[in-house]
Amino acid sequence: MIIHATRRAHLAGTALAVILAGVPALAQDSFLDVGEQEPITILINSSPWYGGFESVVALYEEQTGNLVELDATPYNGVLEKARNAVRTAESPYDILNIDSGWTIEFYESDVLRPLGEIVEGYTLPEEVYTCGDSYFWNEEKQYRTSEGGTLMAVPPNCNVHVLVYRTDLVETPPATYDDLLAQCQAIQSPPEVYGFATRGERGNGIHYDFMPFLLSYGGRIVADPASGDYTVTINSPEALTALERFIEVEHGCAPANVGAMGQGDVIQLMAAGNAAMVETVVAAWANYVDPTKSAVVDTVAAAPMPEGPGGRGVAIGNWHFAVPRNIPDERAQAAMAFMQWFLTEGAQTAYAEAGGIPVRRDVIETLGQQPGYEWMAAYQTNLEAGVHPLGFSEGAAVEQVMGLRLNQALVGELSPAAALNSAAREIQEIFAQSGRQTGSLDPLPE
């Protein structure tokens, strides 16, 4: 009896430990033994997945005895601090977590260490997604690609869009954008419930959230950057159809203030129970399933993005763990040790269970089968269709142009055709200035 009881207690204890650590006890070998390493400091942004990252760091410290300090910083502050760090004699940080849009500036000034220089011949594990090849940099082509590119960073997450919907209002999530429009208009009954919304705010918001429309209608900003053809194609008839559909959906189904709606507004609309469908990044998922923040915990679900004539379009906007050049070798080694450990199956599982967004195929597939992680299937479908639309060094400047012109089209300051024509003119100018082989289409009739 006594023995029995003890064993049960022991089993329960193990089960508890498993839940707490988030690691199957048998999977110890799915981690990596990194040995003793220098303490490191990581510059990272505050985000919904920060909690998950913090737990996985605690697990690393516990397993290896190596110290990791985290400097959690507001979003824009990360860029300022990262720039300061690489512009000084010795960087206070060993790992910089930077947004993909910012990375090229760091590549161009050559202040990050290629990972293969720290650990001879290092490559990403096969199971790890490369998030649209965005962790490589081909200096000659000034373009993100694994072909002839150098591995510069590892993924802390691959942020892609998912279609978030309410199972009580939407029976089957729309498979196409025609379907999306029809469904959202049918549901639309403001101000109680809006059919669909995504960001219309000027800048990165509208640019990034318009991308799924553009890509799935077969539109592209640039003809073929991978092979060096920077002919601007943003004023193609496909792009116009995509923009007109985008505006139609936003005007027909979103709140009247859609031209000023940012990430917080869209999340709020869904979480408060006032939207049937929204398009947000997977990193926002945690907001919908937290009962203190969401009224739709039991009815929310995620679906792959709809398809258009050009297939499924998904844009990736991800974060990068990179190592600055201006730190001593031992610290770079320690940084690398942590990153390699972080990408193991065990660590990624622990990360996901604590609220992180995993980047390993096997972890996503295994966890996706479990209750509570159903959204991972949609995440994976979208991730595999994902492309990095701004893989070139002029990305930030192009995004600014797009962010303004698209917003003007949405709020009615410009017609869709005029907005795309002016965007095309300005983007061509940007490429011409940086010496790309560029050109343009005939302007759309305005």
Partner 1 sequence: MIPLKGRELWLGYAFLAAGVLAIVVPFLFILATSLKYEIAIMQGRVIFEPTLYNYNDVLFGRRSNFVRNITNSLIVAGASTLIVLTVGTLAAYSLSRLRWARWISGAFLGWTMLFNTIPVLTVVGPWYLMFQQAGLYDTLLGLVLTHVAINLPMTVWLMMTFFGDIPAELEEAARVDGAGQAQAFRRVILPLVVPGLIAAGVLAFVFSWNEFTVALNLTSRGTATVPVGIANFAEQYEVQNGNMAAASVLSTIPALILMIFGQRFVVQGLTMGAVK
Partner 2 sequence: MSFPSEISSGAAPAAVPPRRHRREPSGDRWFRWATLLPAVIVLVVLTVWPVANLLRMAVSTIEFTRDGASFAFTPAENLRRLAGDDLFFINLRTTVIFVVVSVILEMVLGFLLALMVSGVPRGKGLVRTLMILPILVPPVAIGSMWKLVYNHDFGILNQALGVVGLGPVGWLSNPDLALWSVVLVDVWHWTPFVFLILFAGIEGLPREVIEAARVDGATTWQIVRRIVLPLMAPAIAVAFIFRAILAFKVFDQIFLLTSGGPGTATEVVSLRLYRVFFDQNELGYGALLSVVIILAVVAFLLTAGALARRVGR
Contact residues: partner 2, CB under 8 A = 76, 79-80, 83, 86-87, 105, 109-111, 191, 201-203, 255-262, 264-265, 268-269, 272, 274, 325, 396-397, 400, 404, 407-408, 411, 413
Using rule CB under 8 A, residue 273 touches partner 1: yes
Q: Of the two residues 203 and 218, which places its CB atom closer to partner 2 in the complex?
A: 203
Q: Are strands 438-440 and 229-232 parallel, antiparallel or unpaired?
A: parallel
Regarding 294 and contact with partner 1 (CB under 8 A), the answer is yes
As a whole number of angstroms, the distance between CA 357 and CA 353 comes to 9
Name the minimum Å distance from CB 114 to partner 2. 13
**From CA 116, how far away is CA 124, in angstroms rounded?**
10
Least distance CB 53 / partner 1 (angstroms)? 11
Does the protein bind partner 1 through residue 109 (CB under 8 A)?
A: no
252 contacts 195 by C-beta, under 8 angstroms: yes
Q: 3-class SS at 45?
A: strand
Strand positions, DSSP E, 115-180: 136-137, 150-151, 154-157, 161-166
Using CB under 8 A as the binding rule, whether residue 73 contacts partner 1 is answered as yes
Residue 248 contact, options partner 1, partner 2, none, Cβ 5-8 Å cut-off depending on partner type: none
d(CA 145, CA 126): 16
What residue 14 binds from partner 1, partner 2, none (CB within 5 to 8 A, per partner kind)?
A: none
Q: Which residue's CB is nearer to partner 2, number 107 or number 338?
A: 107
Complex with partner 1: residue 228 or 264, whichever CB lies closer: 264
Q: Answer with the entry of partner 2, partner 1, none that 372 interacts with (C-beta below 5 to 8 A by kind).
A: none
Report how far residue 10's alpha carbon sits from residue 277's, in angstroms, rounded to the nearest whole number: 46
Q: Do residues 340 and 250 make contact, with C-beta atoms less than 8 angstroms apart?
A: no
For residues 409 and 54, give the distance between their C-alpha atoms in angstroms, rounded to a whole number: 41
Which residue stretch of 39-47, 106-114, 304-312, 379-387 sits at the interface with partner 1 (rule: CB under 8 A)? 39-47
Q: Does 408 bind partner 1 (CB under 8 A)?
A: no
Which residue is listed with tokens 């029809």?
182
271 binds, among partner 1, partner 2, none (CB under 5 to 8 A by kind): partner 1
- The Cα 353–Cα 24 span in angstroms is 11
Residue 186: contacted member of partner 1, partner 2, none (CB under 5 to 8 Å, by partner type):
none
Tokens 């995504």 correspond to 198
Residue 105 binds: one of partner 2, partner 1, none (C-beta under 5 to 8 A by kind): partner 2
Q: Does 48 bind partner 1 (CB under 8 A)?
A: yes
Here the tokens at position 148 are 């002839």
- Taking residue 177's Cβ as centre, other Cβ atoms within 10 Å add up to 24
Which residue's CB is nearer to partner 1, number 266 or number 423? 266
Asked if residue 100 binds partner 1 (CB under 8 A), the reply is: no
Q: What are phi and psi of 362, to 5 degrees?
A: -65, -40
How many chain residues are in contact with partner 1, going by CB under 8 A?
A: 41
Q: Which stretch binds partner 1 (CB under 8 A): 16-24, 138-146, 293-301, 331-339?
A: 293-301
Q: Tell me the residue ranges of DSSP E strands in 81-218.
A: 95-99, 136-137, 150-151, 154-157, 161-166, 194-197
CA distances from 315 to 208, 349, 367, 383 (A): 7, 25, 24, 9
- Chosen from partner 1, partner 2, none, partner binding at 114 (C-beta under 5 to 8 Å by type): none
**Cβ closest to partner 1, residue 84 vs residue 189:** 84
* Direct distance between the N- and C-terminal alpha carbons of the chain, in angstroms, rounded to an integer: 86
Q: How far is the CB of 70 from partner 1 (least distance, A)?
A: 7
Of 84-92, 219-227, 380-388, 412-420, the segment contacting partner 1 by CB under 8 A is 84-92
Considering CB distances under 5 to 8 angstroms, the limit depending on partner class, which of partner 2, partner 1, none binds residue 314?
A: none
Separation CA 340–CA 277 (nearest Å) = 38
Told to check if 271 binds partner 1 by CB under 8 A, we report yes
Q: Is the peptide bond before 125 cis (omega within 30 degrees of 0)?
A: no
Compute the distance between CA of residue 426 and CA of residue 220 in angstroms, rounded to an integer. Answer: 15
What is the chain's length? 446
Q: CB-hemisphere CA count at 13 Å for 153?
A: 32
Q: Which is nearer to partner 1, 238 or 265 (CB)?
A: 265
Among 134, 273, 272, 275, which residue's Cα sits nearest to residue 199? 275
157 binds partner 1 (CB under 8 A): no
Given partner 1, partner 2, none, residue 168, with its beta carbon under 5 to 8 Å by kind, binds: none
Interface with partner 1, residue 46, by CB under 8 A: yes
- Binding footprint of partner 1 on the chain (CB under 8 A): 45-48, 50-51, 54, 69-75, 77, 80-81, 84, 87-89, 92, 263-264, 267-268, 271-273, 280-281, 283-284, 286-287, 290-295
